[in-house]
């Protein structure tokens, strides 16, 4: 008596359970709207506030920003003359050999153009030659030469972002002139010039923030240079 019932049971296929589960777990339109609303809340409120709190906790010592002052844009200033053909008639020199050239100093007598590079080298280019030649002139170990100016004795004055005010003699020796003023150490020496009487003028962009943290100087809104 049991044998036919067993055959009858095996002939019936089991109900498809997996499609039923998918149908049961399919989100409704209201659930989708709630999910998008939650994601929007996270993106516009929770995440920005969390990032602000983290940055506030991790802010460097000495970073004390002031409220942003109100600015208004005035009328556009027009230039007296526009020379759009200069770039088209210009020629690239030292391409690929001068990483991050920052400033230029030209010696008209020798025909050399000096510039400071991102790898710490002060290089010179002989632009008077038929084919400009790039030469490694002087290396500032651990430095970043920014401002460059020729001195009256053919020396080269270098404003280095990390070292301070340097001088490079004709024998390519590098010496420190100064890295402080009135007991205040420089943090971002960036510009130098020499007057006709030999007086040296230079700038220090900030006494608090260096080349790696200069964005904090911008965000702080307080002048820290001299």
pLDDT digits (tens, 9 = 90+) for 200-211: 999 999 888 888
The predicted structure's pLDDT at residue 89 = 77
Give the model's pLDDT for residue 189: 95
Residue-level pLDDT at 13? 52
Going residue by residue through the chain (226 aa), what tens digit of pLDDT does each one get? 444 444 444 444 554 554 544 455 566 667 667 787 888 877 788 887 887 777 666 666 666 667 766 666 677 777 777 777 777 777 888 888 999 999 999 998 889 999 999 999 999 999 877 788 899 999 999 999 999 999 988 899 999 999 999 999 999 999 999 999 988 999 999 999 999 899 999 999 988 888 888 777 777 777 888 7
**CA distance linking residue 142 with residue 176, whole number of Å:** 13
Contact present, 50 and 43 (Cβ < 8 Å) = no
Element spanning 63, H or E? none
Q: DSSP readout, 96-126?
A: TTSSS---EEEETTTTEEEEE-TTSEEEEEE
DSSP state of 100: S
Domains for the chain: give ranges and CATH numbers: 2-57 (no CATH), 99-220 (2.120.10.30)
Check if the beta carbon of residue 120 is closer than 8 Å to that of residue 137.
Answer: no
Q: How much is the pTM? A: 0.67
**CB neighbour list of residue 12: distance below 8 Å, 6 or more residues apart:** none
Token pair belonging to 121: 């080298």
CA 213 to chain centre: 9
- Tell me the per-residue pLDDT of 18-53, one tens digit each, with 9 for 90 and over: 454 445 556 666 766 778 788 887 778 888 788 777
C-alpha 214/C-alpha 146 separation (Å) is 14
Q: How high is the pLDDT of residue 58?
A: 63
């Amino acid at each position: 008596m049991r044998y036919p019932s067993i055959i009858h049971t095996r002939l019936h296929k089991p109900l498809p359970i997996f499609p039923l589960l998918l149908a049961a777990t399919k989100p409704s339109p209201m659930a989708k709207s709630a999910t998008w609303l939650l994601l929007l809340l996270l993106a516009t409120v929770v995440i920005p506030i969390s990032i602000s709190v983290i940055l506030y906790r991790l802010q460097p010592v000495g970073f004390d920003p002031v409220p942003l002052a109100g600015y208004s844009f005035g009328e556009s200033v027009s230039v007296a003359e526009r020379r759009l053909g200069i770039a088209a008639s210009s020629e690239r020199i030292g391409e690929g050999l001068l990483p991050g050239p920052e400033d230029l100093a030209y010696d008209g007598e020798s025909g050399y153009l000096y510039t400071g590079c991102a790898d710490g080298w002060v290089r010179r280019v002989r632009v008077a030659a038929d084919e400009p030649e790039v030469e490694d002139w002087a290396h500032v170990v651990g430095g970043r030469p920014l401002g460059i100016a020729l001195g009256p004795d053919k020396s080269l004055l270098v404003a280095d972002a990390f070292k301070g005010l340097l001088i490079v003699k004709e024998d390519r020796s590098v010496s420190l002139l100064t890295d402080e003023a009135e007991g205040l150490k420089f943090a971002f020496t960036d510009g130098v010039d020499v007057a006709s009487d030999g007086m040296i003028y230079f700038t220090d962009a900030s006494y608090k923030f260096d080349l790696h943290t200069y964005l904090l100087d911008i965000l702080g809104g307080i002048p820290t240079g001299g």
